Amino acid sequence: METKTAAKKSPAKKTTPAKRSAKTPAKKNAAKSLEDLFEDALKDIYWAEKALLKALPAMMKNATSEKLKTAIDKHITETEGHVERLEECFKALGKKAQAKKCDAMQGLLDEGKSILEETEPGAVRDAGIIAAAQKVEHYEIATYGTLAAFAKVLKEEDCLKHLLSTLEEEKKCDELLTKVADTNLNSKAM
């Protein structure tokens, strides 16, 4: 009679809190103050808005719903205004408007492009476009909300006014996209 030997379980390796969350060293030109962080975030969203301006026409061209095309067209115009407001913020800070690549927006735009490639034209693609656009809007809402909070603490009143105006437009765009999706568009995609 053959006996099976139970495999010995090795004790689970315990990781210490220090190993789980190792400190990340700061880059040479890392932000040292809220003012630095604010300026870096402005550069980031400035790049993001300009990149979005390049991507929105492709989304509009690939949409089939007239309501969706209209919503995207409206947002192109608004996004041009967002870029101008950011330039006004830089001016109020006495800085030249400068863009710094936004990895988050790049990822969202790449995802949007892949949705176009992975869906057939029609209601399914329209639903995908709305999903991708709303992810972008939610990122922008989070960013402008954070920037407005920074501007308030830094007492940058001109920037705060511009940032809050853009934040409201981003929220309204998100609401409009939800309405477009809810007007039977998602049901047609089934």
The tens digit of pLDDT for each residue in 119-137 reads 999 999 999 999 999 999 9
The tens digit of pLDDT for each residue in 72-86 reads 999 999 999 999 999
Question: Lowest-pLDDT range, 10-24, 40-54, 99-113, 151-165?
Answer: 10-24
Check residue 73 and give its pLDDT. Answer: 97
φ, ψ of residue 17 in degrees (nearest 5): -55, -35
pTM: 0.85
CA–CA separation, 45 and 147 (whole Å): 10
Residue 71 or residue 27, greater confidence: 71
CA–CA separation, 60 and 72 (whole Å): 6
Calculate the alpha carbon distances from 162 to 16, 53, 96, 185 in Å: 46, 19, 17, 34
Tokens of 133: 């656009």
The tens digit of pLDDT for each residue in 23-60 reads 888 888 888 899 999 999 999 999 999 999 999 999 99
Tell me what the mean pLDDT of segment 96-121 comes to.
Answer: 96
Confidence of residue 19 (pLDDT cuts 50, 70, 90): low
Pair 68, 129: CB distance under 8 Å: yes
